[in-house]
Amino acid sequence: MTILDRRLFGPGPSNPYPEATAALGLPLLGHLDPAFVAMMDETCDMLRTVWGTTNARTLPISATGSAGMEAAFVNTVSDGDVVVVAVNGLFGQRMAEVARRCGGEVVEVEHAWGTPVDVDRVVSAHPHPKVIAAVHAETSTGVRSDIAALGAAKGDALLLVDAVTSIAGIDLQADAWGIDVGYAGTQKCLGVAPGLAPFTIGERAWERRVEKPRSWYLDLGLLGGYVGEAGTKGGARTYHHTAPVAMVASLHAGLTRILEEGLPAVHARHQQAGHLLQAGLVEMGLELFADAGCRLPELTTVKVPDGVDSAAVRRELLERFGIEIGAGAGPYAATVWRIGLMGHNARPDAALLVLAALRDVLGR
């Protein structure tokens, strides 16, 4: 088996939508070619749809999800700004660290891993924060948090949300939920290779942005011209950096596929596959890690049974069945597995194959 043969399943870059993979191999357009400019406009339009926003400033940032996170904070936080960060996993921790590096006075609201964000605790953590930040879908724990409730309770603060693992997988409504700044990644439920960070920023946040952010590359004021008046259709283009044209073509293809299928159908597909997997794991006698009621369908966390070597099971799944599942994150590295059914993998046949393979490897 070659590595390519083996990479049939698993979270992350392993199995994008076929259309998105095929687009990576198309002849490259120049980054100033009018055909590419039109493709970028369409990509920004489709991103508005999956974000659930009309924000003019919606664009794919040319780097991974973490750069989206940096762009979100560096443009909204500077010295002494109070930032309340809801921390219920690894990516909340990363947000807090990025906010600190921007000079923010960070108030971390810690939660037990495996539990969702407690909106009351977060909004009462400080009387006047400039920013409240939270992760919608914590990939480290498989937990969904109620961003709509956080938005309803945010008061005057700007709401900054990580949607890396939620976008195009579960319901996400940036405008209706009061998200002021959001970033995502391409490699999860969007089913595209890693390398771009879909990003959106609304008017409130734009008006309160840091005038001269401590990053040149991620300064949204400069990036605006790159997509034409910050993502508005047909605006004047100025050179900012060379667009990663193949990645944008791939994202365009992935988004086209998703919107042709229809967002509600795509969400339902993720829901069904995740439920099937989770029910099967429980039936096998395994214990799920995330609290009931907040489990993500696209990313399932399950406890490694006592006496089982987590790494050996993962290795066997990969070598015998070509199925890649993730180790746990942070303190749960050896005691939790993370199984992604995202984008193209969010299908019943994928869920059933993972279950059958795991049953075989565990002898259950």
Is 162 near ligand PLP (CB under 6 A)?
yes
Site for ligand PLP in 42-71 (CB under 6 A): 64-66, 69
User: Which contiguous run of DSSP H or E holds residue 106?
Assistant: strand 105-110
Nearest one of 62, 81, 17, 69 to 209, comparing CA atoms: 81
Report the alpha-carbon distance of residue 310 to residue 37 in Å, rounded. Answer: 47
Which position among 17, 51, 73, 91 is part of the footprint of ligand PLP (CB under 6 A)?
Answer: 91
Is 115 near ligand PLP (CB under 6 A)?
no
For residues 64 and 335, which CB has a smaller minimum distance to ligand PLP in the complex? 64
Sign for the CA dihedral angle at 315, 343, 186, 134 comes to negative
Is 219 near ligand PLP (CB under 6 A)?
no
- The minimum distance between CB 65 and ligand PLP, in angstroms, equals 3
Helices (H), the chain: 3-6, 18-24, 34-51, 65-74, 90-101, 119-123, 147-152, 203-207, 220-227, 245-261, 263-283, 310-321, 348-362
Residues 41, 45, 49, CA angle at the centre, nearest 5°?
Answer: 165
- The minimum distance between CB 85 and ligand PLP, in angstroms, equals 13
For residues 64 and 232, which CB has a smaller minimum distance to ligand PLP in the complex? 64
- The minimum distance between CB 162 and ligand PLP, in angstroms, equals 5
Is 165 near ligand PLP (CB under 6 A)?
yes
Is 301 near ligand PLP (CB under 6 A)?
no
Site string for ligand PLP, 317-336 (x = CB under 6 A): --------------------
Is 17 near ligand PLP (CB under 6 A)?
no
For residues 143 and 205, which CB has a smaller minimum distance to ligand PLP in the complex? 143
Report the alpha-carbon distance of residue 3 to residue 27 in Å, rounded. Answer: 25
Q: Give the count of alpha carbons within 13 A of 131, CB side only.
A: 36
Please identify, among the stretches 21-29, 162-170, 235-243, 276-284, the one whose residues bind ligand PLP according to the rule CB under 6 A: 162-170
Q: Do the Cβ atoms of 141 and 113 come closer than 8 Å? A: yes
Please identify, among the stretches 15-23, 161-169, 200-208, 322-330, the one whose residues bind ligand PLP according to the rule CB under 6 A: 161-169
**In this structure, which amino acid lies at residue 187?**
Q
For residues 70 and 81, which CB has a smaller minimum distance to ligand PLP in the complex? 70
Q: What share of the chain is helix, strand, coil (3-state, %, to 5)?
A: 40, 15, 45
3-state secondary structure of 283: helix
Site for ligand PLP in 166-185 (CB under 6 A): 185
Nearest one of 273, 68, 261 to 162, comparing CA atoms: 68
Site for ligand PLP in 117-146 (CB under 6 A): 135, 139
Q: Do the Cβ atoms of 208 and 181 come closer than 8 Å? A: no
Instruction: Name the residue with the smallest CB distance to ligand PLP.
Output: 65
What are the CA-CA distances from residue 82 to residues 97, 164, 184, 334 (Å)?
Answer: 13, 24, 23, 35
- The minimum distance between CB 187 and ligand PLP, in angstroms, equals 6
- The minimum distance between CB 57 and ligand PLP, in angstroms, equals 20
- The minimum distance between CB 300 and ligand PLP, in angstroms, equals 14
**Which stretches of the chain bind ligand PLP, using CB under 6 A?**
64-66, 69, 91, 135, 139, 162, 164-165, 185, 194
